[in-house]
Amino acid sequence: MKTKFFIPVVMLIVSLLLLSCGRATPTPSTSGSDTSGEAASSEPIKIGGGFALTGEESALDLPAANGAKLAAKEINAAGGVLGRPVDLIVHDSQYKMDVTAQIAKQFVEEDGVVAVIGFTDTDSVLAAGPTIQAAGLPFITAGATSPKIPTQVGDEMFLACFGATVQAAAGAEYGFNNFGPNAYLLWDKGVEYTTLLGGYFKDRFTELGGTIVLEDQYDDEATDFSAQIAKIKALPEQPDFYFISAMPYNVGPVIKQFRDAGLTGPIVGGDGYDTPDLLSVAGPAAENVFFTTHALMDATGGTEGIKKFIADYNKEYGHDPENAFAALGYDTMNLISDAITRAGSTDAAAIKKAIEETKDYAGITGSISFGDSHIPQKGVTIIAVKDGAFTLGAEVVPEKVPAP
């Protein structure tokens, strides 16, 4: 009676385990020959790509992964790296931290990669980072902007995007110079990115001599902002502009509700605003909104590199890139292949050194140089919403960046 169900179930589990082990076993032999030199010239160079393709972070990770895959395809079409094709091995972390930690081990042990790229959020990078750091492999995150990541993970960790300090400073300087010295500050207190961005904005803005007339916060994924709006309306005088540090899914509703309540002043934000939802949810309310991001993903207004990227992306996937994270994924993949080419080998230490020596690498999200820091000095794109479209507001490099 009891064994009737037990035995088939056990057999099922054992066969599934064997299935998964079976794929794992042949790889160590290939990873061994990887470092032995250029003799095996047709052997692909393996790069790990960790992305949360499903789950809450997928709106950012999926475009980033697509961008990286497109770059790998183009690299191979152009003859590969060091005469060898590159193989971008992508694993889905499902935005689960235990799975994220596991796929880092999979990259190191089973896939035998020479470097890892990926992820757009701090939690995932910190969950995967220690394993990759311990294995001595370079790890470049495509879009996690916390400037503390390199010190938290170690010397193998790099950012392909600017840090939150840089875009906060750019936003603060832009607002101060263009709108005035009195700002209102609102941030999503449920997410590290929005909390850091709001904090760094305040640091730089007050340093410039500006005044935060009122600061307020809301819970992550909030849908009703009437309490915050009521407090602004109670102010004796309206601020010159509103800085709202929000996640992509909150951006549309918060702006719409601000405008509906009659708050028409300029709204400034970070790269969380870089989502099609801003225009589709807020609609006409999105006028007079300015935000800092990595690149203007516009087929007509963007730079030449961006225009070509959008055309290629459209050809490959049948639609335009969703946001700038697609371009970041693309740049990250190209950055690592550039480093391998300059290193002249697939030795991890040589690649790491080559990444550190990267100078004025012309990515489509801006020129990338790593100095002493593993966070690139990159220009910030400021986008202005005009007539229902994203237009280029300014390309700036902040004069001073707050300490992380």
Partner 1 sequence: MSTLDDRPASPAVGEAQPANPGGVAALTQSPVAIRLGAILLLAVGLTLLQLPGRAFWQGFVINLGIFMILVLSLNLASGFTGVFSLGHIGFMALGAYGSAILTLPLAKKADYLPNLPAWLAAVHFDFYLGPFPLGFLLATLLAAGLVAGVALLVGLVLMRLSGHFVAVATLGFLVIVRVILFNADNFTRGSRTFSNVTPYTGLWWVWCWAILTLYVVWRLKYSAYGRAMFAQREDSLAAQAIGLAILPPRLLAFVVSAFFTAVAGSLYAHFITSFSPTVFYFDLTFRVITMLIVGGLGSVSGSVLGTVAIMALAEALRRLEDVTLLYGMSQITLAVILIVIIIYRPNGLLGRREIVLARLFRKGGEPSP
Q: Whose Cβ is closer to partner 1: residue 17's or residue 299's?
A: 17
Angle, vertex CA 195, rays to CA 222 and CA 92, nearest 5: 80
Cβ at position 189, least distance to partner 1 in Å = 6
Cβ at position 56, least distance to partner 1 in Å = 8
Query: Is 319 an interacting residue with respect to partner 1 (CB under 8 A)?
Result: no
- Structure tokens, 146: 């916390």
Site for partner 1 in 167-226 (CB under 8 A): 189-192, 194-196, 219-220
Cα–Cα distance between 313 and 262 in angstroms, integer?
39
Give the residue carrying structure tokens 């179930």: 9
Site for partner 1 in 233-272 (CB under 8 A): none
For residue 328, give the nearest of 365, 281, 289 by alpha carbon. Answer: 365
Which residue type is seen at 35? T
Query: Is 20 an interacting residue with respect to partner 1 (CB under 8 A)?
Result: yes
Q: Whose Cβ is closer to partner 1: residue 178's or residue 195's?
A: 195
Query: Is 399 an interacting residue with respect to partner 1 (CB under 8 A)?
Result: no
Q: Whose Cβ is closer to partner 1: residue 52's or residue 368's?
A: 52
Cβ at position 390, least distance to partner 1 in Å = 28
Contact 350, 342 (CB under 8 A): no
**Among 11, 17, 230, 299, which residue interacts with partner 1 (rule: CB under 8 A)?**
17
Query: Is 152 an interacting residue with respect to partner 1 (CB under 8 A)?
Result: yes
Q: Residue 44 carries which DSSP code?
A: P
Site for partner 1 in 21-50 (CB under 8 A): 23-24, 28
Contact 331, 365 (CB under 8 A): yes
Cα–Cα distance between 224 and 57 in angstroms, integer?
22
For residue 269, give the nearest of 283, 253, 294, 289 by alpha carbon. Answer: 289
CA atoms within 13 A on the CB side of 373: 16
Give the residue carrying structure tokens 């400037």: 147
Site for partner 1 in 82-141 (CB under 8 A): 89-92, 94-99, 101-102, 105-106, 108-110, 122-123, 126-127, 130-131
The residues of the shown chain that bind partner 1, judged by CB under 8 A, are: 2-3, 5-6, 9, 12-13, 16-17, 19-20, 23-24, 28, 53-55, 89-92, 94-99, 101-102, 105-106, 108-110, 122-123, 126-127, 130-131, 146, 152, 189-192, 194-196, 219-220
